[in-house]
Structure 1
Amino acid sequence: MKPQLILLGAPGTGKGTQAKRIVDEFGYSHISTGDLLRGEIAKGSDLGKKVKSIIDKGDLVNDQVVLELLNANCSISDSAYIFDGFPRNIEQSELLEEHVLKGAASKAIYFDIDLDILVERISNRRIAPKSGEIYNLLSRPPKVEGKCDISGEDLIHRKDDTAETVRNRLEVFKNTIAPILDYYEGRGVLVRIDASTSAEEVFAKVGEAINS
């Protein structure tokens, strides 16, 4: 059985790109808590109604509800999953292990990168809203300036992708990730991958982590 994967890394490190390849080439299921929340609401299940009630009040879905959501949608003994976006703090890391993974083999993969490189990478990011394609003016520019290669739509530069905003977001990330890394390192399941290299090199290291 392949290990369950917990993807960790700051915004812009390439987690999303790597997650897609892991799904395609290793047969994993990608677990996004946001997608699960929306899906459960759409199904109209009892859990979905509970989630909708919380969101309609303007409250945040708490950790216990997220755990209930994960257990309702994951069969750890039968399938291999990528957990992306959860855990976000040390408490969630411990809850995920105790209530969802329950001792199943797992790897926490940390996409490590110098924050100055990350600021440059994210501030040069451009997004095609309809096609979902993501470009980078430095490493993956569109063929026609300002246009998506696939749909031809205008590319946008998100307001929260400016250098100053990115630096603020990364400072918050730095303050929360250290204890999470310590937790997984202490359990002997942490794999650090240099995310400043090419996507191909990063994926090769991910494959090594999965197969080791």
Structure 2
Amino acid sequence: MKIERLIIGMLETNGYVIYDENTLEAFIIDPGDEPKTFIDYIDRNNLKPIGIILTHYHYDHIGAVLELKKKYNIPTYIHKKDAEGLKDPYKNHSISNFRKAISIISDRIVVDGDVIKAGEIVLEVIHTPGHTPGGICLKVKNENIIFTGDTIFNIDLGRTDLEGGNYSEMKNSIRNKISKWDDDIIIYPGHGDSASMAYVRKKNMEFLDIMRKR
């Protein structure tokens, strides 16, 4: 499996293109902006996108979805609890530059434990609410890799004071799921650099604060 991180948009969101090197089938994860950046990379490498996976519905993770769907005629995957948020991803958001909401119809609804496949790539959906009600992480089967969206970053956690956020749910996601990940798991977050869980357990103060308050 190959992973390409594309840092896009005014909030420097991490969008990912992951693909099977044999079949060239690819997933696009969180295309938040700059659709041409994704298209150029995909076409230059002769990839075959088969789906867009959204870790949550916030605008900075979905801005390029419509153009990519139109270009490649592929479905969008999102957790059922975040599907409604796609109808108005700018609702109550503090950034006023975005003057209108976009409406995206999700083709594929996922829930905890679902599996999504592209070639030999198998992704397991892990429901991790907190940043949004339907926030998800994506575990790559047979790899120590998890795409975490805005649930957890290398040195902090996703905000819970934005639309859909819930600190109590974030605590539960950290304690009941993320804290159980092995040290050699590498997280690929929605913003910032990747990191091992060993690093997270040393440097992520918000993660440590939740774990200490058990």
Structure exhibiting the larger radius of gyration computed from Cα positions = 1
Larger fraction in helix: 1
